[in-house]
Amino acid sequence: MNRRLVFALFALVTLACAVPVSAAEGDAAAGKQKSTACAACHGPTGNASNGEWPNLAGQHEDYLYQQLKAYKSGERQNAIMAGQVANLSDQDMADLAAYFAGQTMEIGAANEEVLELGRNIYRAGDSTKGLPACTACHGPAGWGNAPADYPRIGGQNAPYIVLQLQAYASGERPGGPGAMMNDIAAKLTEEEMRAVASYASGLYSKE
Ligand code: HEC
Ligand code: HEC
C-alpha cells in the first residue's frame, strides 16, 4: 500500500471515530404527541410553571436527548425524572427532544440588585480563583454551543440554575467532559450562584 493511501485510510478511521454514533433521528410531530405527560411540569410548550423546573423550549436538541439518556442510565440522578424516562424508548427520547427544541423559550428578567455581580461573573469570571467566564462556553447571550452539547442557559429559570450549580458543586450531577461544570460550580459562593443565575435568566438570544 502506498503511503498516501495508508494516510487516507487512517484519516477516514479517525474521522469515523470522532463522529458520535448517530442517535435516533427525532420526529418533532411524534414528540408532541408523546409530550402530554411532560406538560404537567414543563408546560405544553416546554416553559415550566415552577422556577425550580427547567424550561425545555428552545434548548438544544442533542443536549435534551443526552440528558434524557443520562436520567435513564442513572448517570444523572433525579427521582422525578427517573420515573418519567423509565418507559421511554430511544426513539421516544429523540422525538421529545426534537419537539421541545423547536419551541420558544420564555425569557425571565434579571434581578436588578444582583445584576452587577452576576454580569461580572458571567462575562469575566474571577481570575483570582481560577473561575472562567461563563461566556467562554455558554456565549454572550447564553445560547451555549449545540454541537459541543453546551446547553443554552440564557432565559433559563434562575431557581433551577441555582439548584444545578449546587448539584454540580457537590458532585451530585456529573458535569460533562472532564467534569468541567463540577470544577466551575465548586468555585462559586452561594451568593455568586444566585447572582449569575439571575443574570443568565434575563439573557435574550436572537439566534
Ligand atoms: C413531575 C414533574 C415532571 C414531569 C412530569 C417531567 N419532568 Fe422533566 N424535569 C423535572 C424536574 C424537577 C427536572 C430537574 C431535575 C434535576 O434536577 O435533574 C427535570 C429535568 C428535565 C430535563 C433536563 C433539562 C436540562 O436543562 O438539563 C429534561 C430534558 C426533561 N426534564 C424532560 C422531560 C420530558 C421529556 C418529560 C416527559 C416525558 C418530563 N421531563 C416530565 C420535572 C418533571
Ligand atoms: C468550559 C466550558 C464551560 C464553562 C466555562 C461554563 N460552562 Fe456551564 N456547562 C458546560 C457544559 C459542557 C455543560 C453540560 C454538562 C452536563 O452534561 O451536565 C454545562 C451546563 C451548565 C448548566 C446546566 C444547564 C441545564 O440546563 O441543566 C448550568 C446552569 C451552567 N452550565 C452554568 C454555568 C455558569 C453559571 C458558568 C460560569 C460561572 C458556566 N456554566 C461556565 C460548559 C461550561
pLDDT of residue 35: 98
Please give the residue range of the domain that contains residue 140. 112-201
In a domain, 178, yes or no: yes
Count structural domains, the chain: 2
| Domain match, 97 and 118 both | no
In a domain, 118, yes or no: yes
Place of cell 495508508: 6
Last residue of a domain, one of 52, 79, 101: 101
In a domain, 170, yes or no: yes
Rounded Cα distance between 134 and 124, Å, is 8
Nearest CA to ligand 2 atom 13: 150
Look at the alpha carbons of 55, 57, 59, 63 in this order and tell me if their dihedral is positive or negative: positive
Last residue of a domain, one of 50, 70, 101: 101
Rounded average pLDDT per 10-residue block, the chain, 207 residues: 49 45 81 97 96 97 98 97 97 98 90 92 98 97 95 96 98 96 98 97 69
| Domain match, 168 and 91 both | no
Ligand 2 neighbours, Cβ below 6 Å, are 54, 121, 132, 134, 136-138, 150-151, 153, 156, 161, 164-165, 175-176, 180-181, 184, 196
- Residue 203, all three cell numbers: 439573557
pLDDT of residue 13: 45
Rounded Cα distance between 169 and 179, Å, is 10
pLDDT of residue 4: 54
| Domain match, 128 and 80 both | no
Q: Which atom of ligand 1 is nearest to the CA of 88?
A: 38
Place of cell 422556577: 51
Rg of the chain (C-alpha set)? 19
Ligand 1 neighbours, Cβ below 6 Å, are 37-38, 40-42, 53-54, 56, 59, 64, 67-68, 76, 78, 80-81, 84, 96, 151, 163
In a domain, 176, yes or no: yes
| Domain match, 90 and 47 both | yes
Q: How many alpha carbons lie under 13 Å from residue 146 in its C-beta half-sphere?
A: 8
| Domain match, 155 and 120 both | yes
Q: Which of the listed residues 32, 33, 84 should we mutate to test ligand 1's pocket, taking the one with most ligand atoms within 8 A of CB?
A: 84
In a domain, 13, yes or no: no
pLDDT of residue 206: 44
pLDDT of residue 3: 54
Q: Which atom of ligand 2 is nearest to the CA of 59?
A: 26
Question: What's the whole-model pTM score?
Answer: 0.91
Rounded Cα distance between 128 and 94, Å, is 42
| Domain match, 72 and 118 both | no
Rounded Cα distance between 150 and 137, Å, is 7
Nearest CA to ligand 1 atom 27: 67
pLDDT of residue 108: 79
| Domain match, 185 and 127 both | yes
Q: What is the CATH number of the domain that holds 97?
A: 1.10.760.10
Look at the alpha carbons of 11, 14, 20, 25 in this order and tell me if their dihedral is positive or negative: positive
